Structure 1
Amino acid sequence: MRHLIIKSLRIIFNIRGMSWLLKILFKTDYNRIFRYVMGKVDNLDINKEFVVRRKIKGAIFELDLYKPTQRSIYYAPLYERENLKLTFKYLQQNSTFIDVGAHIGYYSILIGKNVRGVNVISFEPSKENYDILCKNIELNNLKKIVTPFPFAVSDKNETTTLYLNPFNDGGNSLEQLPHQALKEEKVQCVRLDDFLKEHNYYNINFIKIDVEGHEMKVLHGMPNTILKFHPTFLIEAQTKNEQNEIVIFLKSFGYSHFHLNSYHLDILCKY
């Protein structure tokens, strides 16, 4: 029943002109409305092994519909449309894209499939998400383009605790969660400056950071990378204060162009 309800919503949201109409009527985008509606049906029963596949922009994704974020990717017409549009606009061909907090590879796979000559480095510390990330790389024959690493990224090279969000598979964090995490994992952290130097990665053009409140520590671990490559950043902040802190930090490196997402706390930072 739940599958039929949300499938019907997906059909409705795909109607031509629906995105424009929703913005006029509700002063917001359809992705936000979609997440709200899906939250209302979250109490319906669902098979906990409801694994499906969906093709998005030429890429195939294996998704577990029991997981809220993966379910959003499956049912939304195009999950995080605005951020994807900006990423494709500013990411250069024949360059390196770094995905910090890759989750199951939504950005990594779409970039690997659709940008010519790109080299993708994906960091995902959660074992469960990392396994799905690797599966999606294999499904799309991207092993030579997308390289996954089961590491967290921070300002230190150390072993630390990853707190697993019991309500959102995309909400795991190195920061203590506001609610009690049901599970924890010990994970290896790397400083991006040290990691890139050790592996001899170059031409770093675009870095996406989505690490649930740990964004500033990721940035503090990569000053040399910022100074050398001046990559474009897409960063998901958790609070307005953190958003301001990120802007101030990158301005100190000479960044002057900032695009703030209209509905969320995401920031595109361009040198």
Structure 2
Amino acid sequence: MSFVQKTIHFTSEITRKLPKNKFLRKLYKRINWLFLKLGANPIVTAKMQDGSLLIVDLTTRTEREAFYTGIYDEDLIHTLLNMLRPNTTFLDVGANIGFYSVALSNFISKNTLNSHVVSFEPFEGNFERLEANILKNAFSNVCTINNYGLSDEAKTSQITLREDFKHGSNTGNAAIPTGGFLDEGFKLSEIRLEILDEVWTKDFNALPNIDLVKVDIEGHEDFFLRGSQDTLNSHRPTILMEVNKPYYASRGVDLDETFKGLVPENYQVYRSDNGHWIKTESYKDCKNLDNVFIIPEEKLTLKGYEIFNS
């Protein structure tokens, strides 16, 4: 290992112990830029705060921050871990390189919950890194990975390789084209799409009940829900869903009209407001980029759901 590479890892050992704030994240960005200018290999292994390992690319923002802080979506993942029950299945829809899949698999393994993670990632570069991260942590017995996305139609499609890829990375955020201005200037890659209702019955029916779903697929969430109606109504999972308003606006989609017809009956929607999860009647109340928990009413009294009742 070169001197620069050793220095990067030594630096991350220190930065992971520091407070988490915007000023330090900006500092890490500048330090990282200097390391890369000095010829550092951008592919490194991040030691996460939960003890798991993630192979990341320092040329991408999200992966860079995980390397220097040891965390990713800390509050959301912590909430999911509190909700996770034994003998259940967690679906990671839009798994990227495995931030959520590795964290949930790690928790399941440490606590012998006999639960399972099923991950879906359509872009080949992300999938290969996801596979490497699952293997690196020896989670293959806990996590099943799939190199396709979930939609309302089984077909071959394309995906735009977005900002993370502009500096030469083979991993990062990618989005199925919306047909609008948001697609301009990005390269395309071919992907495969399937329908959850079909693949669950065919390939995963022996797994435990789906209890939790994380879906973050850059404005394609409504297509996923449309292709998952039978499964969602049968299993009634709690859903953590990203709401990315610009993607929906570029398609001319009305959030409330669309999602209220796709979410099963007797579910409540919660968004974060100043550190508290509050019930919302309209997806339009969300910020431009937000996350919501969509929860069956019968689960709100369960352990791990207290934060939605405060």
User: What TM-score do you get using the length of structure 2 for normalisation?
Assistant: 0.72
Question: 1:268 matched to which residue of 2?
Answer: 293
For 2:27 and 2:263, locate their aligned partners in 1 and report how far apart those are by CA, in whole Å. Answer: 38
What is the Cα-based RMSD across aligned positions, in Å? 3.2
For 2:185 and 2:221, locate their aligned partners in 1 and report how far apart those are by CA, in whole Å. Answer: 20
1:128 aligns with 2:125: yes
C-alpha displacement of 1:141: 0.9
Q: 1:203 and 1:33, CA in 2 relative to 1: closer, same or farther beyond 3 A?
A: farther
Whether contact under 8 Å (2:46, 2:70) holds in the other structure is no
> Which one-letter code corresponds to 1:266 in the other structure?
N
For structure 1, which runs of at least 5 residues remain unmatched after alignment? 20-29
Question: 1:253 matched to which residue of 2?
Answer: 265
C-alpha displacement of 1:219: 1.0
C-alpha displacement of 1:3: 10
Q: Secondary structure at the match of 1:58?
A: coil
Deviations 1:159-218 (A, max 9, x none): 111111143543201124715344211111011111111113340011101111111111
> Which one-letter code corresponds to 1:71 in the other structure?
R
Match runs of 1:1-271 below 5 Å:
11=14, 14-15=17-18, 18=19, 30=21, 46=36, 47=39, 49-56=41-48, 57-115=50-108, 116-167=113-164, 169-176=171-178, 178=182, 180-201=184-205, 202-239=208-245, 245=256, 248-249=260-261, 252-260=264-272, 262=274, 265-271=290-296
> Which one-letter code corresponds to 2:190 in the other structure?
K
Whether contact under 8 Å (1:205, 1:232) holds in the other structure is yes
Q: Secondary structure at the match of 1:61?
A: strand
Whether contact under 8 Å (1:240, 1:265) holds in the other structure is no
Q: 1:195 and 1:148, CA in 2 relative to 1: closer, same or farther beyond 3 A?
A: same
Whether contact under 8 Å (2:8, 2:35) holds in the other structure is no
Whether contact under 8 Å (2:116, 2:142) holds in the other structure is yes
Question: 2:301 matched to which residue of 1?
Answer: none
Q: Secondary structure at the match of 1:54?
A: strand
For structure 2, which runs of at least 5 residues remain unmatched after alignment? 166-170, 249-253, 275-286, 297-310
Question: 1:22 matched to which residue of 2?
Answer: none
Identity percentage over the alignment?
24
For 1:59 and 1:136, locate their aligned partners in 2 and report how far apart those are by CA, in whole Å. Answer: 9
Q: Secondary structure at the match of 1:87?
A: helix
> Which one-letter code corresponds to 2:210 in the other structure?
I
For 1:208 and 1:159, locate their aligned partners in 2 and report how far apart those are by CA, in whole Å. Answer: 23
Q: Secondary structure at the match of 2:182?
A: coil
> Which one-letter code corresponds to 2:228 in the other structure?
M
Deviates more, 1:195-204 or 1:46-55: 46-55
For 2:40 and 2:182, locate their aligned partners in 1 and report how far apart those are by CA, in whole Å. Answer: 25
C-alpha displacement of 1:5: 9.3
C-alpha displacement of 1:77: 4.2
Question: 1:23 matched to which residue of 2?
Answer: none
Whether contact under 8 Å (1:59, 1:140) holds in the other structure is yes
Q: Secondary structure at the match of 1:235?
A: strand
C-alpha displacement of 1:9: 8.8
Larger radius of gyration: 2
Whether contact under 8 Å (2:152, 2:223) holds in the other structure is yes
Q: Secondary structure at the match of 2:244?
A: coil
